[in-house]
Structure 1
């Protein structure tokens, strides 16, 4: 008998790891806290188990929900393995490290370090938005730099949102959810099952639409705006029918530097061709603006309104 999305029990051995507890569930995976039996280190393990395709047998094996889904599950598992292997080649302080990847229970397991810190989504709810300029720059400049590296290697994340940004000590960001990453040279990059209302641009809703680095750029802009405005932006499908979203340069004028509001509005353009082509293009525009901003602050002796309370 198969059990829908049942997690593995605490104490279960998977490869060289002993599972401790479930710490998260996503559309494509279950996430466990575990211990490396060789080193004794605490790690995080992501088990590939797509919610719409997979069930678990009592012996722990992951099987298709129905016979006609077997091919899709097998294909997804193979791509998951290949894509994580590709991503493991990227070295960046804001991209989660891949420690190990292996097959067991007829599915794939991704092993990552357990990074202490807090999730941006939970922190945003706690603070009720309105995060400072310094905080936003500390977090999103490194996130854009990490995405620029991915884009340079023909990869797109496709699920940038507050819930996929982890904040370590000093608000150093870590981009999570590698399972959503797609190499652009595969057919899977056209259309996607990964859609997060408010953060996914309109092209992600359509199976034949072309996705690319510009898709991640929209999501970054939407995430920054959510941090500013205390609420998730309206879904792109709603904006596509009737765009009632007031530009950030108008809605948030005076609360944040003009250049940062312009960056958000540029990133959140509905038409992909009107956005920065990739993260590096947005960064190239932002960097001289940041230098001028910092020089102005230094000349004025600093501005207490822009000092991040979150950094202390």
Structure 2
């Protein structure tokens, strides 16, 4: 789901993907979007490419200048709707004040962006009010998000390439800070690498989203766990927001690029700091300079006063001004444009991050899966006096662009030898399980007579409007584990999680989830969400399941899960369950029951 983003993920695909993706919205008129052919001033809507709870982004044709542009429409679906004549009207008189407040913020954001002139900042060509709402016109950018680029390089990126990306982003943020404007939502999916040049562009300001959330949910900002510093959860007199807030988020982005995972959530670190400094990691020091790692560590200080206080200070600690100029020669790094052909070429015109030195590959942590923290729901979680929102990634259903196979120019010659008897063919290996296979396999090992039922309150929900909720019943006492295969393809342990660790259920009782303190709103993308609810007589250990604890909801990397499943043959094999925690002095019976259900988001 796109919540107030400058561009949805569906627009940030390489090559032809930028002109062909967009999912069901492209047909026009769905979920209140303007149909193709609609005219807005001199612009003609060609398709809707993304819709979130606070706005819609369209691809459009500029008849005056004869070019493709992107148009962002202010349409907060929780406050307003489109009427029969195409105008936007608040749902009721009591929604008018908040709707108008959000629209004024939307206009102020457009005015601010229109004043900025930096190649790595989103440009606004013009904005105007019409049909009861506001529109802003922007370039139709083509490229990959930084999240997508990093996911394509599992061995890690080169330091010189990373510094060149951070140079553009940090300069853009410094320009914003000079105007006393803070982004407050820097993350890998909010940095676009333009097709061809690889130049970064900072996206997703979402000012209207923040203002509306302040008004309706009493929160200061919609947060991404791992990237949001502690002062964004609840601003206190000794922890104000400022340039250091964006410094933390940018350092977290670099942390992901360097070691494949985001740092622990800051709200958890303030209680018990589990962060491991990068500058003390001997393996990372083989690939990256100590100065770079130390700068990232400094940027990730939990308390604001411990970080660089300005983007200029952070750039100085990174050595950016001198490092960027010398980066192509440093540590033998090759520029992306001069990199040798790979077996799988990037899409036409795309600048791909150079890989790290092969000597550093062993033991390198795997990259995070593409997408935001959770693919199906936007979660409002009360934590440290503030709510958290998690939004899903955009549509991933479109097939990737075609790729070419590059000849291997330096392949060694093959010697001619006498024919020998071919060895017997190995037995065929079973195909690795898909995440859905893993969910369905849970019930194969359930104990007879261990009955668990899980029932959704609404089997079909409207994106951005309805809440996701379900009830669990069990005929035995036990510990509850809820797994979610989201409509976007991500696999999560939804419960227990960082915010709600209590997962006991009593025989014959009903457990309503999620708790009232963290309701879940349907966040898209459209599709089916598969849930599996396990009630186990013992608590379970997931340390061998490859689960990543980077946010509120632990996530199972699909590729690693498939490998683990393939290594555990048997009809009931699934690593999703982890293993039961048993006393050393006692036997370890492993009885559990399973219930399942689906929720379709539309």
Q: TM-score range by the shorter chain?
A: 0.7 to 0.9
Q: What residue is the counterpart of 2:181 in the other structure?
A: 155
Q: Does 1:237 align with 2:275?
A: no
Are 1:30 and 1:48, in contact at CA under 8 Å, matched by a contact in 2?
A: yes
Are 1:201 and 1:270, in contact at CA under 8 Å, matched by a contact in 2?
A: yes
For residues 122 and 267 of structure 1, the distance between their equivalents in structure 2, rounded to whole angstroms, comes to 23
Are 1:129 and 1:231, in contact at CA under 8 Å, matched by a contact in 2?
A: no
SS state of the match for residue 96, structure 1? Answer: coil
In the TM superposition, residue 241 of structure 1 has moved relative to its aligned partner by 2.7
SS state of the match for residue 295, structure 2? Answer: helix
Alpha-carbon displacement from aligned partner over 1:200-248 (angstroms, at most 9, x marks no partner): 1111122656321111111111111112222233322222232212122
In the TM superposition, residue 166 of structure 1 has moved relative to its aligned partner by 1.0
Q: Please give the residue correspondences for 1:1-312 in structure 2 after superposition, counting only pairs within 5 Å.
A: 6-128=32-154, 130-168=156-194, 169-180=196-207, 192-206=220-234, 210-251=240-281, 252-287=284-319, 291=322, 298=329, 302-304=330-332, 308=336, 309=339, 310=352
In the TM superposition, residue 64 of structure 1 has moved relative to its aligned partner by 3.3
Are 2:70 and 2:139, in contact at CA under 8 Å, matched by a contact in 1?
A: yes
Are 1:84 and 1:179, in contact at CA under 8 Å, matched by a contact in 2?
A: no
For residues 304 and 142 of structure 1, the distance between their equivalents in structure 2, rounded to whole angstroms, comes to 22
For residues 246 and 52 of structure 2, the distance between their equivalents in structure 1, rounded to whole angstroms, comes to 19
Are 1:170 and 1:311, in contact at CA under 8 Å, matched by a contact in 2?
A: no
For residues 164 and 293 of structure 1, the distance between their equivalents in structure 2, rounded to whole angstroms, comes to 22
Are 1:129 and 1:227, in contact at CA under 8 Å, matched by a contact in 2?
A: no
Of residues 302-311 and 156-165 in structure 1, the stretch that sits farther from structure 2 once superposed is 302-311
Q: Which runs of 5+ in 2 are unaligned?
A: 1-28, 340-351, 355-602
Q: What residue is the counterpart of 2:361 in the other structure?
A: none
For residues 136 and 89 of structure 2, the distance between their equivalents in structure 1, rounded to whole angstroms, comes to 18
SS state of the match for residue 63, structure 1? Answer: strand
SS state of the match for residue 127, structure 1? Answer: coil
* TM-score under structure 2 length normalisation: 0.46
For residues 225 and 170 of structure 1, the distance between their equivalents in structure 2, rounded to whole angstroms, comes to 24
The alpha-carbon distance between structure 1 residues 242 and 311, as it changes in their structure 2 partners (threshold 3 A), is closer
Are 1:11 and 1:19, in contact at CA under 8 Å, matched by a contact in 2?
A: yes
Are 1:191 and 1:211, in contact at CA under 8 Å, matched by a contact in 2?
A: no
For residues 4 and 236 of structure 1, the distance between their equivalents in structure 2, rounded to whole angstroms, comes to 38
Alpha-carbon displacement from aligned partner over 1:6-40 (angstroms, at most 9, x marks no partner): 32222222222111222234453221111112111
SS state of the match for residue 260, structure 1? Answer: helix
The alpha-carbon distance between structure 1 residues 27 and 265, as it changes in their structure 2 partners (threshold 3 A), is farther
Between Structure 1 and Structure 2, whose CA radius of gyration is higher?
A: 2
Of residues 125-134 and 37-46 in structure 1, the stretch that sits farther from structure 2 once superposed is 125-134
In the TM superposition, residue 278 of structure 1 has moved relative to its aligned partner by 1.7
The alpha-carbon distance between structure 1 residues 24 and 123, as it changes in their structure 2 partners (threshold 3 A), is farther
Alpha-carbon displacement from aligned partner over 1:93-131 (angstroms, at most 9, x marks no partner): 111211011112322111111123222122222334722
For residues 230 and 168 of structure 2, the distance between their equivalents in structure 1, rounded to whole angstroms, comes to 25
In the TM superposition, residue 87 of structure 1 has moved relative to its aligned partner by 2.5
Are 1:4 and 1:55, in contact at CA under 8 Å, matched by a contact in 2?
A: no
The alpha-carbon distance between structure 1 residues 64 and 239, as it changes in their structure 2 partners (threshold 3 A), is farther
Of residues 57-66 and 31-40 in structure 1, the stretch that sits farther from structure 2 once superposed is 57-66
Are 1:132 and 1:307, in contact at CA under 8 Å, matched by a contact in 2?
A: no
In the TM superposition, residue 297 of structure 1 has moved relative to its aligned partner by 7.8
Are 1:5 and 1:51, in contact at CA under 8 Å, matched by a contact in 2?
A: no
For residues 78 and 298 of structure 2, the distance between their equivalents in structure 1, rounded to whole angstroms, comes to 35
Alpha-carbon displacement from aligned partner over 1:148-207 (angstroms, at most 9, x marks no partner): 11111111111111111111223211111233499xxxx99x963331222111111226
For residues 232 and 196 of structure 1, the distance between their equivalents in structure 2, rounded to whole angstroms, comes to 10
Instruction: Give the total of aligned pairs.
Output: 301
For residues 96 and 278 of structure 2, the distance between their equivalents in structure 1, rounded to whole angstroms, comes to 46
Are 1:4 and 1:56, in contact at CA under 8 Å, matched by a contact in 2?
A: no
Alpha-carbon displacement from aligned partner over 1:26-75 (angstroms, at most 9, x marks no partner): 45322111111211110011112235434333433333345433211101
